[in-house]
Structures are given as C-alpha cells and as structure tokens.
Amino acid sequence: MQVVEAAQQLMGEWLDSLPGRRSADIVIAPFAVEVDGTLFGLVRECHGEYPDGEERDDWAEFYPNRLGFSAPWDGLYDT
C-alpha cells in the first residue's frame, strides 16, 4: 500500500504544480473506429429495459477496455 500512497502523493504534487489548473465539466462525443478487427471508441448503448419498449442510449462503453459509464455521468465506471 505504501507504493500506491507514494504514487498518489507524487501525482498530487505534479498536478498542484500546474499553473492555472482548475476542475470543470467537460463535453465529449461518442466515436467508433475499427482497426484490424478491433473496435476503439466511446459507443452509446442501451442497457436498460423500458416499459414502452423503446430503446434509449443510457450507457456509454469505452472499447476495447470495456469500461461502462452511465448516469449521473460523474466519471465513475463499471467493468
């Protein structure tokens, strides 16, 4: 655990040294590119079941790592 704490401390020092750094919301757009049969991208998907039967893009999957993002779109992910 000491290695992880040391790495986090060092990263914090590096970030603190950046002039004018601030946190803010960002906007991203879905994209998809296939290279040699491998999908790369941030792809909108439907993972919910809706009473009216209409599919809704309620999820974004990051390929090829398969990290899933959903509301409230706060940066947390599912694997």
Residue 16 in domain: no
In a domain, residue 38? The reply is yes
Is residue 19 a part of any domain in this protein?
no
Q: Is residue 32 over pLDDT 80?
A: yes
The pair of structure tokens assigned to 48 is 């919910």
**Two structure tokens written together for 2:** 């000491």
> Pairing state of beta strands 38-45 and 31-35?
antiparallel
Structural domain contains residue 1: no
In eight-state DSSP terms, residue 67 is E
Any domain includes 56: yes
- pTM listed for this prediction: 0.57
Q: Is residue 66 part of a domain?
A: yes
- For the chain, the domain total comes to 1
DSSP string, 36-50: TTEEEEEEEE--S--
Residue 17 within a domain: no
**In this structure, is residue 30 part of a structural domain?**
yes
Average pLDDT for residues 16-33, to the nearest whole number? 90
Which residue range is the domain that position 48 belongs to?
24-79
Q: What is the pLDDT of residue 54?
A: 73
- Rounded distance, CA 71 to CA 7, Å? 30
pLDDT digits (tens, 9 = 90+) for 38-74: 999 999 887 767 777 776 778 889 999 999 888 787 7
